[in-house]
A = this chain, B = another copy of it.
Amino acid sequence: MSAQDKIRVGVIGAGQLARMMVPPAIALGIDISVLAEAPEMSAKRAADRVGDYKDAETVLEFAKTVDVITFDHEHVPQSVLRALTDAGHSVQPPAEALRYAQNKILMRQKLTELGVPVPSWRAVKTAPELQDFIYEHGGRAVVKTATGGYDGKGVRVVTSGDEAADWFAQLGDTEALLAEELVDFTRELSQLVARNPSGQQATWPVVETEQRDGVCAVVTAPAPSGSAAGAAALNEAAANIGTQVAAGVGVTGVLAVEMFETRDGRLLVNELAMRPHNSGHFSIEGSITSQFEQHLRAVTDLPLGDTAMREPHAVMVNVLGGPPEGAMPVRYAEIMAKYPTVKIHSYGKSPRPGRKVGHVTVTGHNLQAVKQQAIDCAAEFGEGA
């Protein structure tokens, strides 16, 4: 990178994650361009091309215009990723790492191999196999499709193997479903890590995530703890898992490690996301270096920025879409007057019930006040949280 006077990053996918990479790219003078799925996407301000990310030729053409390829999502097929790598393009995170974000069974195998604590799990190919797993785990289990799930889709809590019969029926010969114990957790946490190709890593304080219907709704940063010593211990345990996973799977860019905190105080890894993540949006205002800036630094193999909190607390609440008359700008006059300290983020999407159309973040010294304000403000937009 050192001899160049331009750094060109190409992002595949034009959702809100690509959109939120644009501001730090502008600040750092990084030329960002986006390969969009369709013309009117969230990141359209940087969308120089529209095309199918499943088509190797389209993606290869796009890659020729940039120095590094990175992603808004994890759905680019391995064959396309390999074609990029074979043609000499820098793909960050690399295909080898992305496999673990694309297939939950591969991910569970890898984490188990790395000695990372995970819920008890098994790859199951038939309803009776799932039924066995359920019997062995107290009569209930979580079953997940290995690929294609997100935001609670492709996940079911079942008490009988037959409840996944439709999914089993669709499995190919080499495919399986993932059965997992239903963890008795007290809360969900997320550890964000960034790693660059040179191996430098940075972690943010671990955050607490609250879900509604399987969708991330409220993120509290840092995750509340009863005491400073408790916070330090929790942060250390979570950061250790995060950095072990990041190095172990060879990810570059931002990695989100979603975890359960169990009633007996253990941390079990639930999911991995190899890109900036909803649980890291608080960092735009909350951290010295946001996850979006850090992702750009990491994928271009630049040194990582400081991840300290700017203020003691930050709370982010998602805004879900409602009827069109609730589109974010329509209510700005009223809501901005009422919440002058709230940072509003719109994704420029047309509202549909349940669709993530934006988020709000509040930072400050009093956690209760910060959280209440974020929740109240988000609730005034569309469905709120």
Interface-side segment among A95-103, A117-125, A208-216, A297-305:
A297-305
Option from B304, B308, B324, B337 in Cβ contact (under 8 Å) with A303: B337
Q: Taking the complex as formed, is A228 at the interface, i.e. its CB lies under 8 A from any CB of chain B?
A: no
Q: A28 at the A/B interface (Cβ < 8 Å)?
A: yes
A347 CB to nearest chain B CB (Å): 7
A3, B330: Cβ atoms closer than 8 Å: yes
Given A5-B329, A302-B332, A306-B341, do A358 and B29 touch, yes or no (CB 8 Å)? Answer: yes
**In chain A between 26 and 85, which residues have their CB closer than 8 angstroms to a CB of chain B?**
26-30, 45-46
Give min CB distance, A131 to chain B, whole Å: 49
A-side interface residues toward B, CB under 8 Å? 1-7, 19-20, 22-23, 26-30, 45-46, 284-285, 288-289, 297, 302-306, 308, 310-311, 324, 327-330, 332-334, 336-337, 340-341, 343-348, 358, 363
29 contacts between A and B (CB under 8 A): A1-B332, A1-B333, A3-B330, A4-B329, A4-B330, A6-B329, A7-B329, A19-B26, A20-B26, A22-B23, A23-B23, A23-B27, A27-B344, A27-B346, A28-B332, A28-B345, A28-B346, A29-B328, A29-B346, A29-B347, A289-B340, A297-B336, A302-B332, A302-B336, A303-B333, A303-B340, A304-B336, A308-B341, A310-B310
